[in-house]
Structure 1
Amino acid sequence: MAKDLVKLRKKATEAAVKGKLDKALELYQEIVKADPKDIKTWVKIGDIYKKLGRNDQAIEIYAKAATSYAVSGFLMQAISVNKMILEIDPNHAETQAALAALYAQKEGADSAESGPTVGAGVKGASSSVLEMLKKKPSAAAAPPSEPAPAPEAPAEPEAEPESEAEAAAASGKLPQFDAVDLDLADDLFDQIMKQDVVEIKTEDDVEHVLGTLPNIPLFSSLNQDEFTGIVEKLNLRRFDVGDRIIKEGDEGTSFYIIAGGAAKITKTAPNGKEITVATLGEGDFFGEFSFFAGSIRSANVTVTQEMEALEIDRDDLEELTKQFPRIEEVMRAFYKERLVGTMLRISPIFQPLNDEDRAAIMQHFETVETRTGDVLIRQGEEGQGLYVIAGGEIAVSVKGDDGNMLEVARLREGEFFGEISLITDRPTTANCIAVKPSLLFRLPRAAFKQIIAEYPQVLEVTADYADQRVKQTKAMIAGGDELQKAGIV
């Protein structure tokens, strides 16, 4: 049955793209009959209403889909569909207000012990969401079933179109399409508007849903006004298979959240070939590291499945933070969590830990900002902590036997250093100096000592790692093999 639905969805999409809307509706009717709570199909049917010029009903279907996505825990998809509504009616505010009521951090809902609670403790939140979910459908006037095609070379002035759909088609805004069975379209509309993905009939039901929604990175830390502000700045972008959204080496001026579809992250190997390092799907973020650090893109992102993504532009964000200064603080905290979390996942030092342990360790990292020339580590002193570079560049140099300084490495975004002195309890073996303004995160010495005491397997891994790097440093000083760049101190 599942395979049959996949085939039906593919055929319906192809029919809609070719302008065979009646055929598409017939196929979507089969899908709705088999799976009446398939929100993606609702959105596709809403797209057809939009093509038909029946904008009021398209908006109602989109609003139903957006709110249903939201109460099911899929905020990014909900925001994406809300953007579709705003493309039709920029003044439509109800759906966005419902999303804010569901997901924004609520005043008075937090405690020092529990941290932010999504959707809890807001007077009026339950009633506003309930109103959106139980809204009665309106009866929109149906356009004629056979919109007249725009003449190729009219010999006389065109007659005034009889419907919104005809006007759009004649102006070239919409493709021509086949005749549509309007009774079928109306039947599908009624079926969708009767569905409840989550059974919600009372404000108590809404309160229960509010208590089960997941915390969404970035968005759940904003209050309602901030949430609304940042959602308004999001741009809905659509990409086809093969589109390269981000190119390695380009400047990073925006980052993206995938609302639907998939992509792959690739990097260029020394031999010039592209290697796939990760895959991305719904709800994943990408491009945020270079966006926040102001650095160039470190990888390529290419679409592998037709995608809808929400884009945040740096200029828009800067404008928004003038109105809501706290958004910058929230965004920085989000960036820190993402960057440090990534470092902990990929670092061989912390690989023996599970996700819960890594999350606990993440809280111990401190932010360090430097100017050009600032010294982070001096050779021969006690190590103060483990550093991870969020942005900028650090030069590593050692004092040779002849007393001269020898630069042995340049460390950049994502690389780390400082662990050898912490593990060996010996003075640091090199100098680390910022060669440009840099942003780093530091795990203090005491926290590092606590971690290796609690997790002996971490000490075992880092001791082996440190021994290898000490040997590499000595080889570099002696004119041996080139020193690896990641964390030699």
Structure 2
Amino acid sequence: MSESLRELGMDLLEERQFERGLAVFAESVRRRPSDHRSRMLAARCLAELGERERAVTAYHACAEGLLRRDYLLSAMAACKLALELAPQERRLRDTLERIHARAARSAPGRASVPPPLPPDPLFDGKVETDLMELMGEELTARVLEVLAAPDPGGVADPNSRPPLPLFADLERDAFLDLVQRMTWKSVPANTVISQEGDAGDHMHVIVAGKAEVSRLVDGQRKALGRLGGGSIFGELSLITGTPPTASVTTVVDTEVFEIRREHLNAMARTFPSVPQVLAEFAQHRMARNMIATSPLFQQLPESERAALLGRFTFKALQPRDKALTEGEPAPGLFLVLAGELVVQKEDPAGGVVSLGVLREGEVAGEISLLTGVPATATVMSTRKTATAFLDRAAFGELTKEYPTIQTYLEQLSERRQKQTAEALRPAEIIDADELVIEADAAKAS
């Protein structure tokens, strides 16, 4: 019944019938106090009706109920919307501080500290009248009794949901500052939030809803996976400056936080630790992605993969930087973390032949390292690209210690040489030794 009332309220909200929508949403909350979605929508109706103070009270009660159930991102969203109406409201800051304390207690390595006590409820929510029968001042007064009443439901299992991503790593005052600056958005279904190849000057956190990740492959849009509440995307582009290599499109109506570069730049002046916190977060995300998806790491037991990645060093390439130069020995093994590398070979007839593109999880330089001969192809970044790098000496130690990795790289090199030979005239490949093909073609072979 509550869901049908909420749907009716959504229709009224779309038609800008805010008073009727308020009555419907509040009635839904009266019947089911845990319906915090309706609480937030009712608060929006109050704001649209000019009842800013009552709207703030409704948002605050909603945030408290969500915090009690450990829906930390949604609790932050309720506080954020209330702060837009009352930026100096102390009770909202108090709730945000307790959200941060709750998240920090769950973060690895953080000391457990007791949060401040929640404020006393203002109302008990005991309203017997069907709120949809009321109008005007009587309606707004009675709905507040419902909307400001606490959610009496039980406390959620603190281990049932993941800790607050990224935000828990910030110091408390930096967290509060970021909540004030970042943007909350409600995005309709089938809307592109982040476009492959666009400027990477922002990141997003999904508060509630679902989105699909896809990439253009050979002119066709290919779905890579789905994201739900708590997912973060765009942070690698924000840190490295590389455009996103995939698009993110909402599947259903979705709520997101948007954090832009200017937000972080402004924060860094007061909180110098923020850029480093974000960089470490992004690098940890890149590490987890590589460990989970790169074929190189699939050759080892999962328990040994993190140690393997620890042997690499982070190396950022600017547009048109060369990782490998044709005719020169490979300095080491490059693993693409974000961005892309194009592989080209000089054509004796003039110009260059493009042999393919390397993307996340792919490696370059292994043939020269394995054979000891100079590279006969140039590998160059097409845009800002983040890589993990292993120099020659470390590569030799790696292949001795892990024969399975050496076998994988030898087989990869053989496939690359064979498929590249099909793209070049025989006279052009007699001495070829550093031949790389597009990642997808390598996987398909």
1:236 to 184, 195, 217: 184
For the pair 1:188 / 2:135, whether they are aligned, the reply is no
Corresponding residue number in structure 1 for 2:76: 79
Deviation at 1:364, TM superposition (A): 4.7
User: Residues 341 and 362 of structure 1 are in contact (CA less than 8 Å); yes or no, is this contact kept in structure 2?
Assistant: no
Separation in 1 of the partners of 2:372 and 2:237? 33
For the pair 1:131 / 2:118, whether they are aligned, the reply is yes
User: Residues 36 and 65 of structure 2 are in contact (CA less than 8 Å); yes or no, is this contact kept in structure 1?
Assistant: yes
Instruction: Give the aligned CA root-mean-square deviation in angstroms.
Output: 4.5
Equivalent residues in 2 for 1:34-433 (5 A)?
A: 35-103=32-100, 116-117=109-110, 120-122=111-113, 126-127=115-116, 130-132=117-119, 134-137=120-123, 146-147=135-136, 181=139, 185-189=143-147, 192-193=149-150, 195-198=152-155, 214-271=162-219, 273-351=220-298, 362-370=309-317, 376-377=323-324, 381=329, 384-391=332-339, 394=341, 396=343, 408-409=354-355, 411=357, 414=360, 416-418=362-364, 420-421=366-367, 425-427=370-372, 430=375
User: Residues 256 and 312 of structure 1 are in contact (CA less than 8 Å); yes or no, is this contact kept in structure 2?
Assistant: yes
**Aligned partner of 1:79: which letter?**
M
Structure 2: stretches of 5+ with no match in the other structure: 126-133, 430-434
> What CA deviation, in whole Å up to 9, does each residue of 1:197-226 have, x standing for no partner?
528xxxxxxxx96x9984333222211122
**Aligned partner of 2:364: which letter?**
G
SS at structure 1 position matched to 2:118 = helix
Separation in 2 of the partners of 1:269 and 1:283? 27
Separation in 2 of the partners of 1:136 and 1:350? 56
**Aligned partner of 2:73: which letter?**
M
Separation in 2 of the partners of 1:104 and 1:465? 48
Separation in 2 of the partners of 1:276 and 1:106? 32
SS at structure 2 position matched to 1:470 = helix
Separation in 2 of the partners of 1:451 and 1:101? 48
The alpha-carbon distance between structure 1 residues 214 and 408, as it changes in their structure 2 partners (threshold 3 A), is same
Separation in 2 of the partners of 1:451 and 1:43? 57
Separation in 2 of the partners of 1:97 and 1:355? 42
The alpha-carbon distance between structure 1 residues 357 and 231, as it changes in their structure 2 partners (threshold 3 A), is farther
The alpha-carbon distance between structure 1 residues 343 and 310, as it changes in their structure 2 partners (threshold 3 A), is same
Deviation at 1:420, TM superposition (A): 3.4
Equivalent residues in 2 for 1:445-464 (5 A)?
A: 445=395, 448-449=398-399, 452=402, 463-464=410-411
User: Residues 60 and 137 of structure 1 are in contact (CA less than 8 Å); yes or no, is this contact kept in structure 2?
Assistant: no
Further displaced range: 59-68 or 364-373: 364-373
Deviation at 1:317, TM superposition (A): 1.6
Deviation at 1:13, TM superposition (A): 2.6
User: Residues 355 and 420 of structure 2 are in contact (CA less than 8 Å); yes or no, is this contact kept in structure 1?
Assistant: no
Deviation at 1:260, TM superposition (A): 1.9
**Aligned partner of 1:131: which letter?**
P
**Aligned partner of 2:36: which letter?**
I
Separation in 1 of the partners of 2:323 and 2:361? 15
Corresponding residue number in structure 2 for 1:486: 439
**Aligned partner of 1:126: which letter?**
P
Corresponding residue number in structure 1 for 2:414: 467
The number of residues matched between the two structures is: 422
User: Residues 190 and 249 of structure 2 are in contact (CA less than 8 Å); yes or no, is this contact kept in structure 1?
Assistant: yes
Deviation at 1:310, TM superposition (A): 0.6
Separation in 2 of the partners of 1:326 and 1:10? 44
Separation in 1 of the partners of 2:209 and 2:161? 22
Separation in 1 of the partners of 2:265 and 2:140? 47
Separation in 2 of the partners of 1:257 and 1:60? 25
Separation in 1 of the partners of 2:221 and 2:57? 44
The alpha-carbon distance between structure 1 residues 388 and 300, as it changes in their structure 2 partners (threshold 3 A), is closer
User: Residues 123 and 145 of structure 2 are in contact (CA less than 8 Å); yes or no, is this contact kept in structure 1?
Assistant: no
What percentage of aligned pairs have identical amino acids?
Answer: 19
User: Residues 371 and 434 of structure 1 are in contact (CA less than 8 Å); yes or no, is this contact kept in structure 2?
Assistant: no
SS at structure 1 position matched to 2:193 = strand
The alpha-carbon distance between structure 1 residues 312 and 247, as it changes in their structure 2 partners (threshold 3 A), is same
SS at structure 1 position matched to 2:189 = coil
> What CA deviation, in whole Å up to 9, does each residue of 1:14-63 have, x standing for no partner?
24444274476457535653x43233233233334334444333323322
Deviation at 1:82, TM superposition (A): 1.4
**Aligned partner of 1:238: which letter?**
S
User: Residues 258 and 283 of structure 1 are in contact (CA less than 8 Å); yes or no, is this contact kept in structure 2?
Assistant: yes
User: Residues 294 and 361 of structure 2 are in contact (CA less than 8 Å); yes or no, is this contact kept in structure 1?
Assistant: no
The alpha-carbon distance between structure 1 residues 46 and 373, as it changes in their structure 2 partners (threshold 3 A), is closer
Corresponding residue number in structure 2 for 1:29: 27
User: Residues 43 and 55 of structure 2 are in contact (CA less than 8 Å); yes or no, is this contact kept in structure 1?
Assistant: yes
Separation in 1 of the partners of 2:61 and 2:183? 21
If the length of structure 2 is used for normalisation, what is the TM-score? Answer: 0.75
Structure 1: stretches of 5+ with no match in the other structure: 140-144, 148-162, 164-179, 200-207
User: Residues 238 and 307 of structure 1 are in contact (CA less than 8 Å); yes or no, is this contact kept in structure 2?
Assistant: yes
